[in-house]
C-alpha cells in the first residue's frame, strides 16, 4: 500500500522535514539542530494556520513514519541526570543552524510571531500517543492491518513508548517534569499510562517528582485563568486553561484505574493535604473557566463534567481510605458525600454486590485475571459467561482460565451471581438508581451469605485484575490451570470431565 500523502503547511517538503528531524536526533544527547528548527519540523505536520491538528498528517505519520515518532519519544525517555538535563537545555539556547539554507530558514519561520522561545514542551504537545485499537494486542493488530492492506499504527506496542524500559523511561520523564513542570508533561504521562497500563505503576510510585508536580499542576491553570480574568494580557485562554486541567485529570483517572488502594495511597504519600487543596482549587473554578471558553460547545461542558467527576472521585477515595474526619470546613461537601458513599459501599454487602454487577455491565475488559483485552482493543463486544450471564470474557481460553483460577475461581460464584440477578430482577444493564430496589430485595429474600460471597469475590477479582501480569505469564498459567477442563466453543460454557 502506498503511503498517504502528507499535507505540510506553507508548502514545506514533508519528507525533507522528516529526514532532517530524524538525522538531527541521531545522537539523542546532542541534537544537531536548534529547538526552533525541530519545532518547525513538528509544526509542519501538526498544526494548520488556525492552530488545529491536521489529522490526515497524524495518521500518515503513525502509519508510515514510525522512525520519526520513535526518535521523538526516545529523545524524551532517554534517562539523563538533572545535571545532564541542565547542560542539554543550555545547549538549546540560541541557534547554530545554517540559515543560509532556504529550507532550514523556512522551518524557523513556522514559529508564530511573538511566540516564546521553543523548548522541550513542544515535543510533549505533538507526540500522538493516544491509544487507537488496543496496542497490547500486537499480533491481532498486525493481522487485522494486513487483511485491510494497511500498516499498524504507531505505537505498535507499549514498548514503543518505553524504549528504555519502564523504570528508566519513567525516571527520564520524572527528571524532565522536575526541570519543566507543565500540564503538558502530566498529560503525556497520562496518555502513556493509558496504553502501557500497570507496567508503569511501580516506576511511577518510585518516582521522585511526578507525585508532587502532578498535584501542583492542577493549580497552575487556575492561577493563569485568574490572571486572565484580571484583564492581564497573556497567550493563554480559558480554553487552554481548561485543556491543561483536563490533561491532569486524564493522568489521575489512569492512575486510579491501574492502582489498588494501597498503591494509590503510596503514590500520594506526603502529598495528601496538597492534593485536597489542589482538587478544591480546580473544582471551585472549573465551571467558571468552562463558561468563559469561546465558543462554548457541548464538548466544553462535557470536559468540565469529566474533570469534576475524576477529581471528586480521586479526593473522595483518598479521604475514605485514610479514614479522615468528615469536616465540612476542611473538605468540599461533594468530596465528603462521595467519601461517605465509598465507606457505606465497603461495609454494605448488598451495596457492594450491586456496585460490582453495575461495574460489570459497564466494563470494557475481559474478566480473566492476566488478560488485558478490552472492548476497544478487539473492536467488538465480549460475550458474557453463559452460566451467570453477566461476567464478560474475550475468549473461551480466558473463561477456562478464570473458571479454575487459584484465588478467584469464577466457578465459585457463577451460579450465585445468576441467582442473585434473578431474585432481585436486576436488569442486565442496570441504572445507578436501581440500587435501592436491589438492596430491598436482597434483604427480603436472598441469603445474606450468598450476597456477601458475590460482593467479596468481585472485590477480590477486580483487585486481582489490577495486579501486574504479563501475557506470557497468563499463557503459562492457563496451561497449568486448565487441568481436566474442556471448553465448549459454541457458547461461553465450561464443563468438568
Lowest average pLDDT, out of 99-108, 215-224, 465-474, goes to 465-474
pLDDT at residue 485 tops 50: no
Bridge partners of 384, per DSSP, are: 392
Same domain, 192 and 243: yes
CA distance 461 to 140: 26
Residues 241, 243, 249, 254: what is their CA dihedral angle, to the nearest 10 degrees? -150
Same domain, 355 and 298: no
Same domain, 393 and 383: yes
Lowest average pLDDT, out of 36-45, 87-96, 282-291, 438-447, goes to 87-96
> How many domains does one find in the chain?
3
CA distance 108 to 101: 11
Residues 202, 187, 363, 491: what is their CA dihedral angle, to the nearest 10 degrees? -80
Helices (H) and strands (E) in the chain, counts: 24, 4
pLDDT at residue 423 tops 90: yes
Report field, pTM of the whole predicted structure over 0.75: no
Same domain, 188 and 305: yes
Lowest average pLDDT, out of 236-245, 377-386, 435-444, goes to 377-386
CA distances from 300 to 47, 50, 226, 240, 297 (A): 21, 19, 19, 11, 5
Answer yes or no: are the C-beta atoms of 337 and 275 closer than 8 Å.
no
Same domain, 235 and 329: yes
Asked whether residue 245 is assigned to any structural domain, the reply reads yes
Same domain, 196 and 107: no
Q: How confident is the model at residue 114 (pLDDT cuts 50, 70, 90)?
A: low
pLDDT score for 494 = 44
What 3-state DSSP class applies to 311?
A: helix
| CB neighbours of residue 147 within 10 Å | 8
Q: How confident is the model at residue 435 (pLDDT cuts 50, 70, 90)?
A: confident
Same domain, 274 and 317: yes
Asked whether residue 158 is assigned to any structural domain, the reply reads no
Write out the residue range of the structural domain in which residue 462 sits: 348-496
Question: DSSP labels for 4-48?
Answer: PPP--GGG--HHHHHHHHHHHTSSTTS-SS-HHHHHHHHHHHH--
Asked whether residue 55 is assigned to any structural domain, the reply reads yes
Relative to beta strand 383-384, strand 493-496 is unpaired
Answer yes or no: are the C-beta atoms of 190 and 251 closer than 8 Å.
yes
Asked whether residue 21 is assigned to any structural domain, the reply reads yes
Query: 359-393, pLDDT tens digit by residue?
Result: 888 776 789 988 877 665 444 567 899 999 999 99
Asked whether residue 20 is assigned to any structural domain, the reply reads yes
Same domain, 359 and 258: no
Q: Indicate the residue among 111, 128, 145 that finishes a domain.
A: 128
Asked whether residue 168 is assigned to any structural domain, the reply reads no
pLDDT score for 471 = 39
Same domain, 269 and 366: no
Query: 136-191, pLDDT tens digit by residue?
Result: 566 667 778 888 888 888 888 888 999 999 999 999 999 999 988 889 899 999 98
Which phi and psi angles does 487 have, rounded to 5°?
A: -100, 135
CA distances from 140 to 135, 144, 145, 376, 379 (A): 9, 6, 9, 12, 11
CA distance 330 to 319: 11
Bridge partners of 214, per DSSP, are: none
Looking at every residue in the chain, the average pLDDT score rounds to 82
Amino acid at each position: 500500500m502506498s503511503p498517504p500523502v502528507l499535507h505540510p503547511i506553507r508548502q514545506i517538503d514533508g519528507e525533507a522535514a522528516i529526514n532532517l528531524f530524524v538525522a538531527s536526533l541521531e545522537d539523542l544527547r546532542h541534537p544537531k539542530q536548534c529547538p526552533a528548527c525541530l519545532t518547525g519540523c513538528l509544526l509542519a505536520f501538526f498544526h494548520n494556520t488556525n492552530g488545529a491538528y491536521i489529522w490526515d498528517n497524524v495518521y500518515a505519520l503513525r502509519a508510515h513514519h514510525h522512525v520519526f515518532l520513535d526518535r521523538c519519544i526516545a529523545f524524551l525517555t532517554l534517562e539523563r541526570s538533572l545535571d545532564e538535563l541542565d547542560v542539554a537545555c543550555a545547549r538549546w539556547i540560541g541557534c547554530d543552524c545554517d540559515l543560509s539554507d532556504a529550507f532550514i530558514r523556512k522551518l524557523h519561520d513556522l514559529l508564530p510571531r511573538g511566540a516564546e522561545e521553543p523548548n522541550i514542551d513542544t515535543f510533549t504537545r505533538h507526540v500522538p500517543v493516544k491509544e487507537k485499537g488496543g496496542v497490547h494486542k500486537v499480533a491481532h493488530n498486525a493481522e487485522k492491518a494486513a487483511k485491510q492492506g494497511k500498516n499498524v499504527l504507531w505505537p505498535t506496542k507499549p514498548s514503543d513508548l518505553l524504549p528504555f524500559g519502564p523504570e528508566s523511561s519513567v525516571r527520564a520523564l520524572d527528571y524532565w517534569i522536575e526541570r519543566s513542570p507543565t500540564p503538558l508533561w502530566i498529560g503525556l504521562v497520562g496518555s502513556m499510562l493509558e496504553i502501557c497500563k500497570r507496567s508503569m505503576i511501580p516506576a511511577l510510585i518510585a518516582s521522585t517528582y511526578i507525585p508532587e508536580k502532578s498535584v501542583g499542576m492542577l493549580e497552575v491553570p487556575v492561577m493563569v485563568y485568574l490572571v486572565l480574568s484580571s484583564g492581564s494580557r497573556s497567550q493563554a485562554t480559558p480554553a487552554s486553561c481548561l485543556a491543561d486541567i483536563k490533561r491532569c485529570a486524564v493522568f489521575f483517572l489512569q492512575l486510579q484505574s491501574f492502582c489498588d488502594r494501597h498503591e494509590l495511597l503510596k503514590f500520594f504519600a506526603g502529598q495528601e493535604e496538597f492534593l485536597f487543596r489542589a482538587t478544591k482549587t480546580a473544582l471551585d473554578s472549573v465551571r467558571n473557566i468552562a463558561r468563559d471558553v469561546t465558543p462554548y460547545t457541548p464538548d466544553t461542558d462535557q470536559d468540565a463534567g469529566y474533570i469534576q467527576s475524576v477529581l471528586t472521585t480521586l479526593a473522595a477515595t483518598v479521604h475514605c481510605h485514610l479514614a479522615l474526619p468528615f469536616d465540612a470546613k476542611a473538605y468540599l461537601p461533594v468530596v465528603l458525600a462521595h467519601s461517605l458513599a465509598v465507606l457505606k459501599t465497603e461495609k454494605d454487602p448488598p451495596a457492594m454486590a450491586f456496585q460490582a454487577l453495575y461495574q460489570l455491565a459497564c466494563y470494557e475488559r475481559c474478566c480473566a485475571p492476566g488478560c488485558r483485552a478490552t472492548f476497544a482493543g478487539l473492536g467488538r463486544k465480549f460475550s458474557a459467561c453463559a452460566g451467570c450471564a453477566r461476567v464478560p470474557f474475550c475468549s473461551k481460553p480466558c473463561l477456562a482460565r478464570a473458571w479454575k483460577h487459584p484465588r478467584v475461581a469464577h466457578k465459585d460464584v457463577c451460579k450465585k451471581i445468576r441467582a442473585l440477578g434473578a431474585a432481585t430482577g436486576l436488569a442486565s444493564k442496570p441504572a445507578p438508581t436501581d440500587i435501592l430496589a436491589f438492596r430491598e430485595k436482597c434483604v427480603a429474600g436472598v441469603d445474606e451469605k450468598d450476597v456477601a460471597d458475590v460482593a467479596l469475590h468481585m472485590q477480590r477479582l477486580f483487585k486481582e485484575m489490577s495486579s501486574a501480569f504479563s501475557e506470557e505469564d497468563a499463557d503459562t498459567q492457563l496451561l497449568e490451570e486448565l487441568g481436566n477442563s474442556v471448553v465448549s466453543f459454541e457458547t461461553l460454557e465450561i464443563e468438568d470431565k
